[in-house]
A and B are shown apart, each in its own frame.
Chain A
């Protein structure tokens, strides 16, 4: 059974650009959550999608958005990139919504220059 797949693994963008990250959950999992991880702030929850609807949202500005497709695959988008957006972006999938045993991908390392 394939795990959570995130693409790309590494990304370098310039300040002001926008970026889209992709996450393919484990087959059968309907919930996908996104997180930002930085050395200074640790892991922070961005949002959760379940059945194509955003169910939970963390405390991030509107520049951070996401969506989920009918096959449960999810994308997150960050517009008008700032240097502080440099981070490891992690996606996790689980069978159901809300806190439960979630399986994380390896993340996308985004560097904003």
Chain B
């Protein structure tokens, strides 16, 4: 069936290094992708989104890359900081006749080492 998954359940990164979190999706017709950050005890926080007609989008210290050929999505965090420690997950949205189908990945825990 359709699924959105993450390659690594836990990622440990040294403070100051760049982090790359990956996500695979199975529905090539998906129109829209979002990355979320969720800190312990809090609700998810929108980080960045990208439409299927784009292959790269940059935000503040974050970049999302979309490779439709291999159905792969990645989130790059530059100069990772302790405050970046959280669970990150991707979401895939399929838009059909004005309705939206959301599929969320299970999440990758990012640990920033001092």
Chain B residue contacts of A61, Cβ below 8 A: none
B13 to chain A, nearest CB (A): 22
B34 touches A99 (CB 8 A): yes
Interface 9-residue window, one of B17-25, B36-44, B62-70, B72-80: B36-44
Number of residues of chain B lying within 8 A (CB) of chain A? 21
Within 8 A of B (CB), among A83-108: 90, 92, 98-107
Total number of A-B contacts with CB less than 8 angstroms? Answer: 47
Contact between B104 and A43, CB atoms less than 8 A apart:
yes
Q: State whether A42 touches B46 (Cβ < 8 A).
A: no
Complexed CA–CA distance, A103 and B95 (Å): 20
Residues of A within 8 A of B105 (CB): 42
Within 8 A of B (CB), among A2-49: 4, 42-45, 48
- Inter-chain contact A104/B93, CB cutoff 8 Å: no
In contact, B104 and A44 (Cβ under 8 angstroms): yes
**Contact B42 A106, beta carbon cutoff 8 Å:** yes
Q: How far is the CA of A105 from the CA of B44 in the complex (A)?
A: 8
- With the chains together, A100 CA to B46 CA distance in Å? 9
* Contact, CB under 8 Å: B104 / A42: yes
- Asked whether any CB of chain B lies closer than 8 Å to the CB of A56, the reply is yes
Query: Footprint of B on A, CB under 8 Å?
Result: 4, 42-45, 48, 55-56, 58, 90, 92, 98-107
Interface residues of B (CB under 8 A from A): 32, 34, 41-46, 49, 89, 91, 93, 95, 99-102, 104-107
